[in-house]
Structures are given as C-alpha cells and as structure tokens.
Amino acid sequence: MKSSDPVVTRFKERFGDEILSVEEFRGQVAISVKSARVLDILRALRDDAECPFDMLADLTAVDYLRLDHPERFAVVYQLYSLLRNERIRIKAYVGEARCEIESAQALWGDANWLEREVWDLYGIRFLNHPDLRRILMPDNYTGHPLRKDYPLKGRGERSNFPKYTVEEPS
C-alpha cells in the first residue's frame, strides 16, 4: 500500500487533527495518531467502504524511553484487509502519566488477549476491557517487565521461593 492510497487520503481528511505523522516505508504505511479518539479511528478503518480492515493481525506496544517520540509508549495496531489484501499500521501514542487507552475488544475479539499481554508487560491500562488480568506473568507479580526501565534481572522475583525442607515425623 502507498501513502497516496484513497483509503489513506480519506483517513487524513476525516481525522486530520488526530494524525501526528504518516510514514511509508517499503510499501508499508504507518500512521501515528493521538490516543484520545483511537476507537473512532479504528472503527472508521474497520468499516471503510472500499477497503475494510476487518482483521486485527496484531496488537502490541513499544516503549520509546529516552527516544525522541511524541509520548513514551505507542500501542501498535497491525490491521489487515481480507478483501483488498492490504495492510496498515496504526501507532497510538500513550503518555507515561496517564497510561491508558480505549480497548479495541469491541471491534475485534482477538484484541482481548493481546491487550491483556500489553497490560501485563507494559502496564498500559485498557479502558472498558472486559477482563484485564495478567496473561503471561504470575498473578501476584508486581511491575511490568518489558518497560525499558525495568531491570533485566528483575527485582528479586526469581529468588523469592520457599526452599524445600523435610519435616521430621513427630
């Protein structure tokens, strides 16, 4: 897909205020947006008349700590149009102070677990998510380990287990 594609042009006209940048790299279009109206943006792309992006291929996040980006985190939506065989990438920037974004679970069911994974590892809270629990780390885990400021060797989680002891029969 090119950034001159009609679906991108229509998108720019409709959500001009929300767009931070439109990039094209090797035939891939990536649109960076603000996170406030992300649900409207995604719904518009999903229900586009000519090129409906009806499949959420992936949902993940990036931590741009100490890098020159509009906000610290970006939630990345990889969308795919089964009808047109086209792909588009939406990056919604989320700040560190108010680390939350609307859930896309109502638009695509598979967003449920993907958002749980992003919450688990990045600590980005998804509003109106039906079941926002950790999915990979243990339930009693504290912290979000894929954040760049999380220590690689952890905060002692890997050594906080009881040692096996033998109980003497009384």
Partner 1 sequence: MGLEKILGDGVLATRVSALVNWARQNALWPMPFGTACCAIEMMATLSSRFDMSRFGSEVIRFSPRQADLMIVSGRISIKMMPVLLKIWEQMPEPKWCISMGACASSGGVFDTYTLIQGVDQFIPVDVYIPGCPPRPENLIDGVRKIQEIVSKEKISDTKHGS
Task: Work out which of 16, 27, 130, 138 binds partner 1, going by CB under 8 A.
Answer: 138
Query: Among 13-21, 67-75, 100-108, 158-166, which window interacts with partner 1 (CB under 8 A)?
Result: 158-166
Q: What distance in Å separates the CA atoms of residue 101 and residue 72, rounded to the nearest whole number?
A: 13
State in angstroms the smallest separation of the CB of 145 from partner 1: 5
Count of other CB atoms within 10 angstroms of residue 58: 13
Q: Based on CB atoms, which residue is closest to partner 1, 67 or 152?
A: 152
Q: Based on CB atoms, which residue is closest to partner 1, 71 or 123?
A: 123
Under the binding rule (CB under 8 A), the answer on residue 22 touching partner 1 is: no
Under the binding rule (CB under 8 A), the answer on residue 117 touching partner 1 is: no
Query: Among 44-52, 87-95, 100-108, 153-161, which window interacts with partner 1 (CB under 8 A)?
Result: 153-161
The closest alpha carbon to 63, from 120, 143, 147, 123, belongs to 147
Q: What is the total count of residues that contact partner 1 (CB under 8 A)?
A: 19
Q: What distance in Å separates the CA atoms of residue 104 and residue 59, rounded to the nearest whole number?
A: 10
Distances in whole angstroms, Cα of residue 98 to Cα of each of 33, 35, 127, 169: 16, 11, 12, 56
Q: What distance in Å separates the CA atoms of residue 129 and residue 111, rounded to the nearest whole number?
A: 9
Looking at residue 22, its amino acid is V
Give the binding site for partner 1 (CB under 8 A): 137-138, 141, 145, 150-155, 157-159, 161-164, 166, 168
